[in-house]
Chain A
Amino acid sequence: MTPLPYGIMAEFRRAEDLVEAVRTARRAGYTKLDAFSPFPLTDLAHELGVRTTIIPWIAFLAALVGAGLQYGSQYWMNVVDYPLNVGGRPLNSWPAFIPSTLIVAILWAGAATLIGLLVILRLPRLHHPVFAVHDFRRASEDRFFLCILAEDPIFMMQEARAFLETLSPLAVREVPACD
């Protein structure tokens, strides 16, 4: 039995063509789509149902954890575990604990957001079926690609190919599955 392919991919010259193709494909009932472009197309991502609201939440929660940890550890170390009277100043001298609390909150938020980003994108992933497609290297430069995934419930190779051909792409190519 031949393994199921990853999907089928059409190549376009302009970003507008890709946007139009995505809209047409969605109207035709395809739901498992992926689009590739050499620069961000935020509106198109929105149309594909991408919601990035998790990113600020990651940052916010990580900042809270970082700030809590830093203030808590300063409090515990300088007030509870090793109290030191410096010129009669209060042990919990909170104004002096604030700067590093803020800094560490930023450290946590920044690191969590950027590392979380890679986790969400499931990167690094050096090997991916789309890289096998001829000319796909130009997706990082000046070409735009639309891929209908084989996991789409209405995916049939012949129909999908015929459909993509109607969008007047530069080429339509099958994306073989990874071994």
Chain B
Amino acid sequence: MSSEAIAVTTPVAEVPLSRRFGRVWWCALVVSGGLVLLLGYTLVSVTILGVGIWGVNIPFVWGFDLINYAWWIGIANGASLFAAILVLRRHDLRTAVNRFAEGVAFFAVICAGIFPIFHLGRPWLFYWTFPYPATFEVWPQFRSTLTWDFWAISTHAIVTSLLWYVGLIPDLATLRDRARRKSVQRIYGIFALGWRGSVRHWAYHQRAYRLVAILVLPLILIMQSTVAFEFAVTLVPDWHETRQPLHFVATGLAQGLSIVLLVAVLLRSGLRLGRYIDEEDIDLLGKLVLASAIVSGYLFLDEVIAALLAERMAQEAMLNRMTGDYAGLYWTAIVYSVLIPQLLWFKAARNSTIAGVFVGLSIGVGIWFDRFSIIVGGLQTDYLPSISRNYQPTLAETGLFLGTIGLFAALLLLFVRFLPVVSMFETRHDEHLEKSS
């Protein structure tokens, strides 16, 4: 084979097809696999013993379950929204980032889905939220945000996974055709569904893919708002605000972008994909993360201003969140999700792997503290003179949270190992357009 015939995307295809993958990958998989076992253990124990093993109690009806749910959903929605916008704008960045941004969204929604199911207390009856003709002849109450959430999570999981898979089909065909072992070829071949690259097929494929990407945009906005409505429709003073959906959508986008940045810099250095995820891509991603962090900052400010204009009860609730027992959470959120990302004003920071990892994690942590602060800080001051008690997560809850992080990492590691992390056909298409123009 002459050297010019080697396709531009060969190195991407060689990653999943290589026989060995190095020690670091195995170590990471063992660690995250251990956390997945922990997840299994905490889930089994909460199923057998009940939610009594969690730290939640009146007035703290919601604790880690909702904090982590809202956090994972934020990552899922932010990453999905970003991926969809890139596809629709036909932005150059999409070839580099889209595939794993959709992957991040899909894995995060799996992690998110675990929490609402298990906080039901009797998770094996989760299907009661589905309108089916039950023997007691009672239907779900559709005026409740919790039923909207059931549809939102399941729709997000189905639509993002389908979109991700359909986008993967042509690349799976490349892997099928390049596989050296018969067994590997069979497996990729089955999942490639017999894709043969017919120009007719491409035309339909592209149209459908873009159309569903459009559909993802409203889905994300409705879904993230639904999460926020779960708080806003209650009478808890600090939650009962119409600005809640905006806060969740905007900070969720920051969070999704930051995790995409984190994964991008790790993939770039870990898999040596510098040519496909180039410096310009990372630089642009850094700027986007910075912009979204500034928007988060604006929303934190807006929270204060909205409280100043509100009635006394809401003002007190806000003030309590800033200065009360949980003030640490509030300020940590601001430092991590707004102040630290300002590092990205510097070009050196945007181009550095360490800074990318640091800022990516920092926003993730910051928004996690924000969700913690909103949920626990809001419940602390109810209209009722509450029992003087503070919320503290128990080991079972912490284990559950760490377990979902392990699950997310394990899914990501498997994805990196067995699938092309960069869309190969989009890369070829771009190279072709560049050459012909």
Contacts and interface: CB of A to CB of B under 8 A. Distances in A.
B159 A110 contact: yes
Contacts of A93: 143
A176 to B, nearest CB: 16
B151 A55 contact: no
Nearest to A96: B143
Interface string A71-84: 00110011001101
Interface stretch (B200-208, B305-313, B329-337, B356-364): B200-208
A50 B204 contact: yes
B204 A55 contact: yes
Binding site secondary structure of chain A: helix
A73 B195 contact: no
Contacts of A4: none
B344 interface: no
Contacts of A6: none
Interface residues of A, number: 66
A120 B201 CA distance: 9
A45 B208 contact: no
B272 interface: no
Interface residues of B, number: 68
B218 A106 contact: yes
A114 B165 CA distance: 10
Nearest to B13: A141
A89 interface: yes
B211 A99 contact: no
A40 B158 contact: no
A50 B206 CA distance: 13
A128 interface: yes
A54 to B, nearest CB: 9
A16 B178 contact: no
A103 B152 contact: yes
A140 B174 contact: yes
Contact of B198 (A34, A42, A137): A34
Interface in A33-70: 34-42, 44-46, 48, 50, 52, 55-56, 59, 70
Contact of A139 (B140, B197, B225): B197
Interface in B373-397: none
A73 B131 contact: yes
A117 B200 CA distance: 12
A13 to B, nearest CB: 8
A109 interface: yes
7 contacts: A40-B429, A45-B202, A70-B151, A107-B154, A121-B201, A141-B13, A142-B5
